[in-house]
Chain A
Amino acid sequence: MLVQALIGFIGATAFAYIYRVPTRQLPYAGIVGSLGHVIFLLMRDKWGEVGGVFLAATMVAFFSEVLARRRRQPVLVFLIPAVIPLVPGAKAYLTMLSFLQDDYTGALVSFISTVLLAGAVAAGIIIASSLFRIYSRAKHVRR
């Protein structure tokens, strides 16, 4: 698990670097990414792949929103690199590869799981950031 946490950190930091996240925010993006990957691995056996990705994406979005407010950065800076290990980019690629190799059954199976996983990631992000918006609006109104 420690090795996997390290891999998640390396992956998220490397992608943060590719997307040119401001240098001082790189380690934070890496930590959120590592956290998401570990949560996914822990929940995968209990809730299945889609459930695990959903919970991990929700937590990643939540911590990205917290960090964005603390460090006065746009949410994207933390969110995009940190969800990269959860996004089924590899599944999408395998789907296309199976289609091109005439393996239609395999392609359909991985296509459906790609759509479900991408939907789970998006749903997790939307739920967490909507909750944050409701919360900050409520605070604003009270003042």
Chain B
Amino acid sequence: MERLVGLVLLAGELLLTCGAEMYRVEETIERMGLAAGFVQVEGFATPTGLFISLHAPNGRVYTRVRRIRQTYNKLSTIAEVNSISRAFSDGSMTIQEVHDELERLSKETAPESLGRQLIGGAGAMAFTMIFGGNWFEGIIAGMTGAMVLVLVSWLGRHPVPKVLQAATGGIFAAAVIMGLSRILAIHPDLTTLGAVMVMTPGVAMTTAIRDLLSGELLSGLSRSAEALSVTVAIATGVAIVLTLGGR
């Protein structure tokens, strides 16, 4: 029983740290708990913490709390935990198999290869062009965006708050592009916009409103706070450079 409680908790924790929606976390906990033989399962997920309470048939109640300290976006883990939990409730996966799979996923660290950041740069390029930049500006924004991603992921490995990471990224992107716009014929505003887009919390902003509209008030508010603080930080970084650069 103790072991099953641990498994349910681990699955919930993996989902939360990888950026799943609250209802998915709660639904998965419920599905796995019922499949494991508990008679009543309560799960309560917030972006910063997870609470579960499992009622065993013999009347014992197991309650666990897990604090979630850092989150990042890793949709592949969400997809895998989702299919594991479904296979477990179908009965096509044993407890031992579920345990091994979840342990493997929790040890998997986020791979940060240079290729990943270069492809991220393509996102920055696409954004500059969506907002009306030409190919040349897109390529400059893409290269700067890739460098911003390298910088931010390097900062992310040290105990630097998210807000400070975003501000540093903003300063870096604006400085590089301001410098380049002195020698190259590029539109600095559009190009900076694309380069910083790789950091903007677009997902947090949409899920925040989505949570609020569907009645998940707690996670809606905390996600809007996250989105707001990161956006302010990026803009502050850019504004510092623009002010110092005399514009």
The interface of chain A, by Cβ under 8 A from chain B, is 4, 7-8, 10-11, 13-22, 25, 37, 72-74, 76-77, 80, 83-85, 87-90, 92-97, 99-101, 118-119, 121-123, 125-126
Chain A residues with CB under 8 A of B21: 76
Q: Is the CB of B74 within 8 A of A20?
A: yes
Q: How far is the CB of B193 from chain A (nearest CB, A)?
A: 5
Q: B116 contacts the other chain (Cβ, under 8 Å)?
A: yes
Chain B residues with CB under 8 A of A77: 75, 78-79
Instruction: Give the A-B contact count at a CB cut-off of 8 A.
Output: 142
Contact with A along B99-131 (1 / 0, CB 8 A): 000000000001000001001111101110111
Assuming the contacts A20-B73, A20-B110, A22-B79, asked whether A74 and B24 have C-beta atoms less than 8 A apart, the reply is: yes
Number of interface residues of B (CB under 8 A): 50
Partner of B232, one of A8, A72, A96: A96
Partner of B75, one of A19, A83, A100: A19
Q: Is the CB of A76 within 8 A of B235?
A: no
New A-B contacts (9) at CB < 8 Å, excluding given A11-B130, A96-B234: A8-B130, A11-B127, A13-B122, A15-B123, A20-B77, A37-B130, A87-B205, A89-B205, A93-B193
Docked complex Cα distance between A7 and B198 (Å): 15
Q: Is the CB of A18 within 8 A of B74?
A: no
Assuming the contacts A96-B231, A96-B234, A122-B210, asked whether A8 and B202 have C-beta atoms less than 8 A apart, the reply is: no
